[in-house]
Amino acid sequence: MKKLLMVLLMLFITSSALYSQDDSDLKTKFNAMNKEFAQLMMADDFHGMIKWYADDIISMPSYQPMLRGIDELKKADEMHKQSGVKTTAFTLETTDVIDAGSYAIEIGTYTITMQIPGMDMPWTDNGKYMNVWESQDDGSYKMKVDTWNTDNNPWADMNKEEDHEKPVEKLETEDKK
């Protein structure tokens, strides 16, 4: 019985190693896809980017409601185009990959620079993201879930402004005494 269990265990380990893609291979693959994705985004080419998304994509952007399905993603892209915002630089860097069989979880960092109507200077943001990819029969991957958020806390700047105001208010109060 012990021999049978050992043989089965060895068979399982060997077959898992043969059929699973190495995490470093996936990381290389996702980084290459990210470079192409970034180029398409800077070119404002949503039709080129759409090939990466599953029809039932769930997108969870920072500070916005969840988007479900490719049609909602298309509507969001149209609103983005109408806003006049232009992405001038964009990089994505895969830092971690978790191979979960027919799914892969990609974790990484991003830096994006945009020219926003009404702002003199470009705006740059950096943060992190997570994508869940589903492997396809042809060996490609489609994004099932994506989410990202900034590393820059917008409320921190407001708190700094409030902290600067408090001493001024205190001084004014003391002067009135």
Per-domain boundaries in the chain: 19-151
Quote the pLDDT of residue 11. 45
Show the tokens assigned to 101.
């069989």
Higher per-residue confidence, 67 vs 20: 67
Question: Band of the pLDDT at 153, cuts 50, 70, 90?
Answer: confident
Rounded to 5 degrees, φ, ψ at 20 are: -95, 145
E strands in 12-140:
53-60, 67-68, 86-100, 103-115, 123-135
Annotation: CATH topology of 19-151: Nuclear Transport Factor 2; Chain: A, (3.10.450)
pLDDT digits (tens, 9 = 90+) for 10-53: 544 444 444 445 688 999 999 999 999 999 999 999 999 999 99
- Tokens for 1, please give them: 């019985």
Residue 164's pLDDT is 55
Give the separation between CA 35 and CA 88, rounded to whole angstroms. 14
In this structure, the number of other CB atoms found within 10 A of the CB of residue 7 comes to 10
Query: For the segment 97-132, what is each residue's pLDDT rounded down to a tens digit?
Result: 999 999 999 999 999 999 999 999 999 999 999 999
- Measure Cα distances from 47 to 25, 31, 35, 83, 92 in Å: 27, 20, 16, 18, 19
* Whole-number average pLDDT of the chain: 85
> Out of 59-63, 67-71, 149-153, 155-159, which region has the weakest mean confidence (pLDDT)?
155-159
